[in-house]
């Protein structure tokens, strides 16, 4: 199975979780401000790092669901950046939310394929724990950009950081699913 097929397979799993939660909760996430989404990403990435370092979970959930959550919260963040924050969760239908999810997942795939070409799939030689650390680093970068009100001098914006976090989480899921 090639990288694109592996990417699509793990994204299908992430999408399935997103759709089921959308059914259960609606688009309640539409009210979340960007810093709140960044904090959600922090909670998930920090938990992965904690589990990696401790080697055990006391609540029975492992690393895999947290990587899925990072993918999904990253996409939610991108939706929020594009559409703005809603006052109520009913401003986006289920079909609209899924269509946005699919569009952004495809954008992420295309970015990954372009970068894979230039970097020659270097991510395959990395450890899953390195993906966790890089995601955390990107979260801290994002928090700094938020503190600057988005006014960076040379760096990419919040959207690029969310996209990168999503792709590193997908790499983690690929390795956890298909092995080295």
Supply φ then ψ for residue 117, to 5 degrees.
-60, -50
Percent share of the chain, pLDDT over 90? 90
What is the mean predicted confidence (pLDDT) over 22-51?
A: 97
What is the mean predicted confidence (pLDDT) over 73-100?
A: 96
Contact criterion met (CB below 8 Å) for 95 and 19 = no
What is the mean predicted confidence (pLDDT) over 44-58?
A: 92
* pLDDT of res. 1: 72
In this model, does residue 61 exceed pLDDT 90?
no
Tokens of 29: 């996430």
Average pLDDT, the chain: 95
What is the mean predicted confidence (pLDDT) over 131-154?
A: 96
Closest CA relative to residue 16, chosen from 102, 77, 93, 81: 102
- pLDDT band at 59; cut points 50, 70, 90: confident
Say how many Å lie between the first and final Cα of the chain, rounded: 12
- pLDDT band at 55; cut points 50, 70, 90: confident
Give tens-digit pLDDT for 95-126.
999 999 999 999 999 999 999 989 999 999 99
Angle separating helix axes 63-83 and 158-178, nearest 10 degrees = 150
Closest CA relative to residue 158, chosen from 171, 141, 135, 170: 141
């Amino acid at each position: 199975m090639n990288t694109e097929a592996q990417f699509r397979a793990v994204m299908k799993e992430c999408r399935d979780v997103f759709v089921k939660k959308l059914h259960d909760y609606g688009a309640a996430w539409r009210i979340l401000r960007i810093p709140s989404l960044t904090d959600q990403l922090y909670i998930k990435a920090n938990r992965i790092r904690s589990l990696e370092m401790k080697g055990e979970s006391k609540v029975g959930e492992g690393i895999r669901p947290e990587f899925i959550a990072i993918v999904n919260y990253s996409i939610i963040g991108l939706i929020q950046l594009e559409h703005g924050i809603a006052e109520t969760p009913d401003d986006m239908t289920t079909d609209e939310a899924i269509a946005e999810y699919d569009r952004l997942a495809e954008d992420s795939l295309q970015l990954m394929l372009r970068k894979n070409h230039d970097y020659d799939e270097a991510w395959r030689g990395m450890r899953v724990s390195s993906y966790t650390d890089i995601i955390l680093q990107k979260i801290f970068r994002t928090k700094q950009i938020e503190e600057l009100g988005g006014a960076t001098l040379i760096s990419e914006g919040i959207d690029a950081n969310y996209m990168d976090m999503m792709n590193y989480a997908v790499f983690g899921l690929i390795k956890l699913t298909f092995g080295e």
